[in-house]
A and B are shown apart, each in its own frame.
Chain A
């Protein structure tokens, strides 16, 4: 197995790692960079627990090779809060009780953030379809959708007041 040396940015910080050519970015993040907030639920792109952004695009880390990340910018749940301040989505997930076991939460947060960046005022249906790639088995999604609605509202208000 040939090792591949990769330089990339994770949550804004430069990282370097060596990984086998066939190792997934998920395994790299979890096992080599200790970013265990990125979860593995299936390893085949069907559950969304390993949702990250790659150059700003929402992807499943299990369907990316570590070797592919050379020069790329990776965003994980660990990069969501800035300067000790929780992201409005993180706040809303706690306040609206949008998590029970919490294993799917990091993936949902990353996917929801990606949605709200594209669409700051999504309808319930848009939220449901945008989050369809993230499986949750505890909540029935009810409180997750409400939390995303609430965070979207907070963020829109925040933007207005910042102006």
Chain B
């Protein structure tokens, strides 16, 4: 195995493109090194992207947020401004593993690992985030939900990698929230999760996005759930309708972390609580 730590995105793309064996991008490494340790992958080349200055940048403004691929999750929580703009994205990113993991893991890495239970992905999708993808042919920008194809599979070409995710401009009374269920309070993988992003006007939901995690091979956007919220002040009937829509959208599996029945039921519970939290954060009151 070779280890390279290029200092430009171009050099990184060239290294990935010219490797004939198995190449992997190393950002935080909290998933990659585990898979190497378990013998699940045996890379011929590791490209560490943390020495690329632009990828270590976190830009936060109301007009937009850019989270570089090498920015550890802990830095998101350290930005008061980001926390006030996108509290749901930050809480999702900060739920990934322990403080030790937070010091390394990245939102982009969480996305590229393509786990159905990834914490930050539903929140990013709910936020309308885009991934900035670089490759030898230049850059492209795609919606985050287009990146993950299934467990462990992404739409990236072998010589491409994501340099950052960007969050759109924040306007009006908006807020997001992310909640997951885990048996332990920390150090756990989401059994089921929900992200909700709302914009209000005079306490009434103008736009909404509801995304569920760990209930299908990829994160699931639930338009019917969003629709149930729009035009309401999150009264019980609206919430019940949203919960029903969420449960209908679930297509989970039975595994060591949860059952179909449990995931389906608790997906609704998480969505309801996340919606209420986002609503309150956006200034709504019930």
Interface residues of chain A, those whose CB is within 8 Å of chain B, are: 1-2, 4, 20-22, 24, 43-46, 48, 51, 54, 57-60, 62-65, 67-68, 70, 111, 114-115, 129-130, 132-134
Contact between chains at B3 and A67 (CB < 8 Å) = yes
B109 to chain A, nearest CB (A): 11
B252 to chain A, nearest CB (A): 24
Instruction: A68 to B49: give the CA distance in the assembly, Å.
Output: 10
Known: A21-B46, A57-B74, A63-B29. A133 touches B101 (CB 8 A): yes
Contact between chains at B99 and A114 (CB < 8 Å) = yes
Known: A1-B1, A67-B3, A133-B98. A59 touches B33 (CB 8 A): no
Instruction: A1 to B42: give the CA distance in the assembly, Å.
Output: 12
Tell me if B160 is interfacial: C-beta within 8 Å of chain A. Answer: no
Contact between chains at A22 and B1 (CB < 8 Å) = yes
Q: Which of chain A's residues have a CB closer than 8 A to the CB of B72? A: 57
**Closest A residue, CB atoms, query B184:** A132
Tell me if B186 is interfacial: C-beta within 8 Å of chain A. Answer: yes
Instruction: A29 to B37: give the CA distance in the assembly, Å.
Output: 17
Tell me if B203 is interfacial: C-beta within 8 Å of chain A. Answer: no
| Interface SS of A by simple majority | mixed
Instruction: A58 to B43: give the CA distance in the assembly, Å.
Output: 26
In B1-50, the 8 Å CB interface with A consists of 1-3, 5, 26, 28-30, 33-34, 36-38, 43, 46, 48, 50
Using A129-B185, A134-B98 as known contacts, list a sample of 11 further A-B pairs with CB atoms less than 8 Å apart, ordered by residue number in A.
A22-B43, A43-B37, A45-B101, A48-B98, A60-B101, A63-B104, A64-B33, A68-B5, A129-B186, A132-B186, A133-B97
Q: Which of chain A's residues have a CB closer than 8 A to the CB of B43? A: 22
Contact between chains at B101 and A111 (CB < 8 Å) = no
Tell me if B171 is interfacial: C-beta within 8 Å of chain A. Answer: no
Contact of B36 among A4, A22, A70, A114 (CB under 8 A): A22
- 4 tightest CB-CB pairs across the interface, nearest first? A133-B98, A132-B186, A21-B3, A57-B103
A23 to chain B, nearest CB (A): 10
Chain B, interface size: which category?
Answer: 20 to 34
Tell me if B187 is interfacial: C-beta within 8 Å of chain A. Answer: yes
A125 to chain B, nearest CB (A): 10
Q: Which of chain B's residues have a CB closer than 8 A to the CB of A114? A: 99
Q: Which of chain B's residues have a CB closer than 8 A to the CB of A54? A: 103
B184 to chain A, nearest CB (A): 8
Contact with A along B77-106 (1 / 0, CB 8 A): 000000000000000000001111101100
Q: Which of chain A's residues have a CB closer than 8 A to the CB of B100? A: 45, 48, 51, 58-60, 63, 111, 133
CB pairs A–B below 8 angstroms (8 shown): A2-B2, A24-B37, A45-B30, A45-B33, A57-B104, A64-B33, A67-B48, A134-B98
Known: A114-B99, A133-B100. A44 touches B34 (CB 8 A): yes
Contact of A63 among B2, B33, B48 (CB under 8 A): B33
Instruction: A51 to B72: give the CA distance in the assembly, Å.
Output: 16
Q: Which of chain B's residues have a CB closer than 8 A to the CB of A132? A: 98-99, 185-187
A1 to chain B, nearest CB (A): 7
Contact of A65 among B26, B38, B74, B186 (CB under 8 A): B26
Instruction: A41 to B277: give the CA distance in the assembly, Å.
Output: 38
Instruction: A129 to B104: give the CA distance in the assembly, Å.
Output: 17
Known: A62-B33, A65-B46. A45 touches B97 (CB 8 A): yes
Q: Which of chain A's residues have a CB closer than 8 A to the CB of B30? A: 45, 63
B38 to chain A, nearest CB (A): 8
Q: Which of chain B's residues have a CB closer than 8 A to the CB of A64? A: 29, 33, 104
B3 to chain A, nearest CB (A): 4
| Residue of A48, A65, A115, A134 with highest tally of chain B CB at under 10 A | A65
| Residue of B2, B26, B33, B37 with highest tally of chain A CB at under 10 A | B33
Instruction: A44 to B38: give the CA distance in the assembly, Å.
Output: 9
